[in-house]
Amino acid sequence: MENPFRYGSIVTGDDFVDRVRELELLVREIRSGQRVLLYSNRRMGKSSLLKELARRNRKEFIFAYVDLYGVPSKNKFLEMLTTEVARAAFTNTEKLVSAVTDLVKETRIRFVITSTGKPGVELDQVELRDSDLAEVLDLPEKIAKKRGKRVVVVLDEFQELLSIGGVQMLKRMRSRIQHHKHATYIFSGSKRHLLRQMFQEEEGAFYKSARPFELGPISRSSFEGFIVKKFEESSGSIEPRLAKRIVDVSQGYPYYVQQISHELFDITNKPRKSEEVEEAIRNAVEHHVPSFLVVWDSVRSQLQRRYLIAVAKEPGVGHGTGFIEKYGLKSYSHKQRIEKQLQARGLIESGDLVDPMLALWLRSLSGSA
């Protein structure tokens, strides 16, 4: 029997769960031409939400999705942007080449056929002129006017541009797109401290230029119903109390709900005992141990290690004097400094661990770091 649960990749369609309110909000903002900053912790399902948004609304809008994770250079970013916008707008290669050539005639762009057999573009590997940058950045607006249809540019992991182009390139980028009336933008990312610098601090390149929208966990009741339904559709069954345990331990993170459910289905498609769910949870945690070890080894400070174990063991509690003394964190000022450092790394948010599976693994470690 094929396992019905999918994790580790983007899910859409029948594998996509809930997010009705989020989808409605995004469509409403797109129609009004409002730029959106979508941010969340990793494994919260941002990319799946954006892909499902495009799937459901592709008749009304032209969606260009650009994944910036690991983008190596400014030129590569502009190549990706040009290619994805053009492909989204023109399915016919001849029309694509003709339209883009006409719209960015002053740039040093040349067309190529990629390894997948699809048309793409390359930029000369030289320092781009301001006019080159302006031509490429204005392409979504020009195509939207040409096609008579709003273009939605999704820039996933947007904070990556800060490391390759710096603040100056981002400011130039904003100076172009702030005039766009027929193209709109969704900036998405998971590194909150960088996104805050870019969008919420006065010196940030995109200060107050997009509506901030934090993506939280999926409704627990929706996910519990999804798990029960998927088991039943695959000739199995699961009691609601066991589905609830999966969602609770995953804290509503789509990736982890799907992963634990996947592990459980591999054990049995008709779980009856809590022990079977706990085995699936252990298997899921074990899968991530190599990456957790990398995180743990990178934390050199003994105080930081103590703090991580402490908040894993006692989530959601006040971190006052008793907590500090119990875990040997020296003083309140030391605790504050530790929190700030770990928050900058994306491990802690509001005094608690971001990753629920990392928290489970840390609880299994010795209480002394």
pLDDT in tens, 254-303: 999 999 999 999 999 999 999 999 999 999 999 999 999 999 999 989 99
Could you give the CA distance from residue 316 to residue 350 in angstroms, rounded to a whole number?
A: 9
Residues 6 or more apart whose CB falls under 8 angstroms from that of 237 comprise 228, 231, 269, 270
Name the percent of the chain lying above pLDDT 70: 91
Domain map (residue ranges) of the chain: 19-214, 218-298, 299-369
> Rounded mean pLDDT of the chain?
88
Reported as a single tens digit per residue, the pLDDT across 214-240 is 998 898 999 999 999 999 999 999 999
Least confident residue range of 53-57, 61-65, 68-72, 147-151: 68-72
Checking if the pLDDT of 369 tops 50, the result is no
What average pLDDT does this structure show over 177-202?
90
- Predicted pLDDT at 121: 66
Alpha helix stretches (DSSP H) within the chain: 20-31, 46-57, 74-89, 93-103, 130-137, 139-147, 161-177, 192-199, 220-233, 240-250, 254-267, 274-298, 302-313, 321-326, 332-344, 356-363
Q: What's domain 19-214's superfamily in CATH? A: P-loop containing nucleotide triphosphate hydrolases (3.40.50.300)
Class (C level, CATH) for 218-298: mainly alpha
